[in-house]
């Protein structure tokens, strides 16, 4: 887990003693935007979406958290209210860490503090990219970038470059059309329509829970 990477066995044992495990069914809410933040969670299994809701009722997904990832926020904040809502996108199990234990650990452990700073930096970069996409790019470009980012992330985890040109690559997509729409700031029907437009252009193919990238270079050109 990135947050605990580099800690000693003794430090990990101290953290473990403070963790409380809980499971959630798909669709259950872990916390609501604006509620007092009493604890942070770390995902053990499953997926959780962090989102905000506009006055119109439309949801904007800010992050999708998977195993090993956390909602951890700034322990130095005086007004500790949740800036997002969290909902289980699948059945999931999480570890909870109380606010007091979390603050104490971050303030007394420099390695944990450094890991948290890196997490904040990555989150800020992600949010900056999301703001740029939603405000400056049209829906088709947002969708293409979403797919290419997933492809790049998969390649990074596999520690090998993704291929360009006409080489086909299978992208496993764990998100529903609705979740993709909420992530890129549009409607589910618009996502479906643009996916099929890309399919007709022979840039991608669509299968259940999979998108086949048939022409990565062609997709990249549409972003220019």
CATH of region 139-222? 1.10.10.10
Q: Is 135 exposed, middle or buried (0-12, 13-18, 19+ CB in 10 A)?
A: exposed
pLDDT digits (tens, 9 = 90+) for 38-66: 888 999 999 999 998 877 778 888 889 99
Rounded to whole angstroms, the Cα distance separating 16 from 10 reads: 10
> Which residue matches tokens 């596999």?
158
Give yes or no for a contact between 96 and 22, defined as CB atoms under 8 angstroms apart. Answer: yes
Instruction: Look at residue 161 in the predicted model and tell me its pLDDT.
Output: 55
Distance between start and end Cα atoms, the chain? 36
Given a cut of 50, the residues of the chain with pLDDT beneath it are 165-166
Tell me if the domain spanning 2-134 has CATH number 2.60.120.10.
yes
**What is the crossing angle of helices 188-200 and 139-158, to 10°?**
80
Residues 6+ apart with CB under 8 A from 40: 70, 71, 72, 73, 96, 97, 99, 102
Cα–Cα distance, 194 to 66 (Å, whole number): 27
Domain spans of the chain? Answer: 2-134, 139-222
Q: What is the pLDDT of residue 76?
A: 62
Q: Determine the pLDDT at residue 23.
A: 97
- Span 190-215, pLDDT tens digits: 999 999 999 999 999 999 889 999 99
Phi first, then psi, for residue 55 (nearest 5°) are: -60, -25
């Amino acid at each position: 887990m990135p947050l605990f990477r580099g800690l000693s066995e003794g430090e990990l044992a101290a953290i473990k003693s403070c963790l409380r495990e809980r499971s959630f069914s798909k669709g259950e809410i872990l916390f609501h935007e604006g509620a007092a933040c009493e604890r942070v969670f770390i995902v053990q299994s499953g997926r959780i979406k962090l989102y905000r809701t506009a006055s119109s009722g439309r949801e904007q997904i800010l992050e999708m958290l998977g195993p090993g990832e956390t909602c951890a926020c700034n322990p130095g904040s005086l007004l500790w209210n949740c800036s997002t809502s969290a909902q289980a996108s699948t059945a999931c199990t999480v570890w909870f860490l109380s606010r007091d234990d979390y603050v104490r650990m971050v303030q007394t452990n420099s390695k944990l503090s450094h890991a948290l700073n890196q997490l904040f930096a990555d989150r800020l970069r992600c949010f900056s990219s999301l703001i740029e996409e939603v405000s400056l790019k049209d829906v088709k470009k947002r969708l293409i970038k979403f797919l290419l980012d997933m492809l790049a992330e998969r390649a990074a985890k596999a520690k090998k470059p993704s291929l360009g040109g006409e080489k086909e690559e299978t992208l496993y997509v764990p998100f529903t059309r609705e979740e993709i729409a909420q992530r890129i700031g549009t409607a589910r029907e618009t996502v479906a329509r643009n996916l099929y437009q890309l399919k007709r252009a022979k840039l991608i193919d669509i299968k259940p829970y999979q998108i086949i990238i048939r022409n990565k270079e062609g997709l990249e050109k549409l972003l220019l």
